[in-house]
Chain A
Amino acid sequence: MADGMDPTLDQFRAETREWLEENCPPSMRTPQTEDEVVWGGRGEKFKNPESKLWLERMASKGWTAPTWPKAYGGGGLSKEENQILQQELKRIKARVALNSFGLWMLGPVLLEYANEEQKQKFLPDIVQGKIRWCQGYSEPGAGSDLAGLQTKCEDKGDHWLVNGQKVWTSYADQADWIFCLVRTDTSTKHEGISFLLFDMQSEGVEARPIKLISGSSPFCETFFNDVKVPKDQLVGRLNGGWEIAKRLLQYERSNISASGFGGERTGIPPIYEIAKKYVGTDAEGHLLDNDLRMRLSDLVMSEKAFKLTVARMAEQSKAGEEVGHTASIIKYAAAKFNQYKTEMTVETLGYQGLGWEGEGFSEMELHAPKAMLRAKANSIEGGTSEVNLNVIAKRVLGLKEHKG
Chain B
Amino acid sequence: MTFVLTEEQGMLKDAARDFVSEQLSLTHFRAQRNAGANGKDPESWAAMAEMGWYGVLIPESYGGSEFGYVGLGQVLEAQGRTLAASPLLQTALVGVSALVLGGSDAQKETVLPKIAEGKLTTALAVDEHAHHAPTQIAMTAVADGGGFKLSGKKTFVSNGHFADLFIVAARTSGKPGDTSGITLFMVPRDTDGLKVTELNTLDYHGAANLEFDGVVVPAADVLGSVDAGWDILDPVMDRARIGLAAEMLGLCEAAFEMTHEYLQTRKQFGQLIGSFQSLQHRAAIMFSEMELTRSCVAAALDALDAGRDDVAEMASLAKAKASSLAHLMTNETIQIHGGIGMTDEHDAGFFIKRARVLESLFGGEGFHRERYATLIGF
Q: Tell me whether B291 is interfacial, beta carbon within 8 Å.
A: yes
Question: Could you say which of A3-11, A99-107, A280-288, A359-367 contacts chain B?
Answer: A280-288
- In whole angstroms, how far apart are the Cα atoms of A403 and B274 in the complex? 11
Residues of A within 8 A of B377 (CB): 272, 285
B74 to chain A, nearest CB (A): 16
Name A393's contact: one of B281, B298, B320 (CB within 8 Å): B281
B289 to chain A, nearest CB (A): 9
Instruction: Decide if the interface of chain A is mainly helix, strand, loop or mixed.
Output: helix
Indicate if the CB atoms of B292 and A333 lie closer than 8 Å: yes
Q: Tell me whether A254 is interfacial, beta carbon within 8 Å.
A: no
Indicate if the CB atoms of B296 and A399 lie closer than 8 Å: no
Question: Could you say which of A72-80, A200-208, A301-309 contacts chain B?
Answer: A301-309
* Chain B stretch 224-277: residues in CB contact (< 8 A) with chain A: 260, 263-264, 271-272, 274-277
Decide yes or no: A312 and B3 within 8 Å by CB, A272-B377, A397-B260, A403-B275 being known contacts: yes
Q: Tell me whether A276 is interfacial, beta carbon within 8 Å.
A: yes
Indicate if the CB atoms of B271 and A403 lie closer than 8 Å: yes
B124 to chain A, nearest CB (A): 25
Interface centre among A294, A304, A392 (most CB of B within 10 A): A304
- In whole angstroms, how far apart are the Cα atoms of A319 and B293 in the complex? 21
> How many A-B contacts if CB must be within 8 Å?
129
Residues of B within 8 A of A155 (CB): none
- In whole angstroms, how far apart are the Cα atoms of A305 and B320 in the complex? 11
Indicate if the CB atoms of A272 and B378 lie closer than 8 Å: yes
- In whole angstroms, how far apart are the Cα atoms of A390 and B288 in the complex? 12
Q: Tell me whether B106 is interfacial, beta carbon within 8 Å.
A: no
Name A402's contact: one of B1, B275, B316, B374 (CB within 8 Å): B275
- In whole angstroms, how far apart are the Cα atoms of A286 and B376 in the complex? 10
Decide yes or no: A315 and B4 within 8 Å by CB, A400-B275, A402-B271 being known contacts: yes
Contact with A along B168-181 (1 / 0, CB 8 A): 00000000000000
Q: Tell me whether B14 is interfacial, beta carbon within 8 Å.
A: no
Chain B interface extent, by class: 35 or more
Q: Tell me whether B335 is interfacial, beta carbon within 8 Å.
A: no
Residues of B within 8 A of A112 (CB): none
A379 to chain B, nearest CB (A): 13
* Chain B stretch 1-49: residues in CB contact (< 8 A) with chain A: 1-4
Decide yes or no: A309 and B292 within 8 Å by CB, A296-B373, A315-B1 being known contacts: yes
Q: Tell me whether B283 is interfacial, beta carbon within 8 Å.
A: yes
Chain A residue with the shortest CB-CB distance to B263: A399
Chain B residue with the shortest CB-CB distance to A295: B369
Indicate if the CB atoms of B295 and A329 lie closer than 8 Å: no
Indicate if the CB atoms of B317 and A329 lie closer than 8 Å: no
Q: Tell me whether B299 is interfacial, beta carbon within 8 Å.
A: yes
Q: Tell me whether B321 is interfacial, beta carbon within 8 Å.
A: yes
* Chain B stretch 301-358: residues in CB contact (< 8 A) with chain A: 316-317, 320-321
Indicate if the CB atoms of A400 and B274 lie closer than 8 Å: yes
Name A309's contact: one of B283, B295, B320, B366 (CB within 8 Å): B295
Residues of B within 8 A of A300 (CB): 372-373, 376
Indicate if the CB atoms of B320 and A389 lie closer than 8 Å: no
Indicate if the CB atoms of B295 and A301 lie closer than 8 Å: no
- In whole angstroms, how far apart are the Cα atoms of A276 and B283 in the complex? 38
Indicate if the CB atoms of B288 and A332 lie closer than 8 Å: yes
- In whole angstroms, how far apart are the Cα atoms of A285 and B2 in the complex? 34
Contact with B along A324-346 (1 / 0, CB 8 A): 00100100110000000000000
Q: Tell me whether A321 is interfacial, beta carbon within 8 Å.
A: yes
Indicate if the CB atoms of B366 and A294 lie closer than 8 Å: yes
Decide yes or no: A316 and B293 within 8 Å by CB, A397-B287, A402-B277 being known contacts: no
Q: Tell me whether B285 is interfacial, beta carbon within 8 Å.
A: yes
Indicate if the CB atoms of A316 and B373 lie closer than 8 Å: no
Q: Tell me whether B109 is interfacial, beta carbon within 8 Å.
A: no
Instruction: Decide if the interface of chain B is mainly helix, strand, loop or mixed.
Output: helix
Residues of B within 8 A of A305 (CB): 292-293, 295-296, 317, 321
- In whole angstroms, how far apart are the Cα atoms of A403 and B316 in the complex? 45
Q: Tell me whether A298 is interfacial, beta carbon within 8 Å.
A: yes
Indicate if the CB atoms of B280 and A390 lie closer than 8 Å: yes
Chain A residue with the shortest CB-CB distance to B300: A308
Q: Tell me whether B284 is interfacial, beta carbon within 8 Å.
A: yes
Q: Tell me whether B60 is interfacial, beta carbon within 8 Å.
A: no
Q: Tell me whether A401 is interfacial, beta carbon within 8 Å.
A: yes
Contact with B along A57-84 (1 / 0, CB 8 A): 0000000000000000000000000000
- In whole angstroms, how far apart are the Cα atoms of A286 and B377 in the complex? 8
* Chain B stretch 85-128: residues in CB contact (< 8 A) with chain A: none
Q: Tell me whether B370 is interfacial, beta carbon within 8 Å.
A: yes
Chain B residue with the shortest CB-CB distance to A306: B292
Indicate if the CB atoms of A272 and B370 lie closer than 8 Å: no
Chain A residue with the shortest CB-CB distance to B372: A297
Name A297's contact: one of B4, B288, B373 (CB within 8 Å): B373
Q: Tell me whether A375 is interfacial, beta carbon within 8 Å.
A: no
Interface centre among B281, B377, B378 (most CB of A within 10 A): B378
- In whole angstroms, how far apart are the Cα atoms of A333 and B373 in the complex? 22
Q: Tell me whether A17 is interfacial, beta carbon within 8 Å.
A: no
Residues of B within 8 A of A297 (CB): 369-370, 372-373, 376, 378
Q: Tell me whether A142 is interfacial, beta carbon within 8 Å.
A: no
Residues of B within 8 A of A286 (CB): 373-374, 378
Indicate if the CB atoms of B288 and A301 lie closer than 8 Å: no
Residues of A within 8 A of B292 (CB): 302, 305-306, 309, 333
- In whole angstroms, how far apart are the Cα atoms of A402 and B272 in the complex? 8
- In whole angstroms, how far apart are the Cα atoms of A185 and B281 in the complex? 35
Indicate if the CB atoms of B378 and A389 lie closer than 8 Å: no
Residues of A within 8 A of B281 (CB): 386, 389-390, 393
Chain B residue with the shortest CB-CB distance to A272: B378
Indicate if the CB atoms of B284 and A393 lie closer than 8 Å: yes
Indicate if the CB atoms of A293 and B378 lie closer than 8 Å: yes
Chain A residue with the shortest CB-CB distance to B324: A298
A274 to chain B, nearest CB (A): 10
- In whole angstroms, how far apart are the Cα atoms of A319 and B369 in the complex? 33
Q: Report, nearest first, the 3 A-B pairs whose CB atoms are least far apart.
A: A393-B280, A392-B284, A272-B378
State the B residues within 8 Å of A (CB): 1-4, 260, 263-264, 271-272, 274-277, 280-281, 283-285, 287-288, 291-296, 298-299, 316-317, 320-321, 366, 369-370, 372-374, 376-378
Question: What are 16 contact pairs spanning A and B, CB under 8 A?
Answer: A276-B378, A293-B378, A294-B366, A294-B369, A301-B372, A308-B1, A309-B291, A311-B1, A315-B2, A315-B4, A316-B4, A332-B284, A332-B288, A390-B277, A403-B271, A403-B275
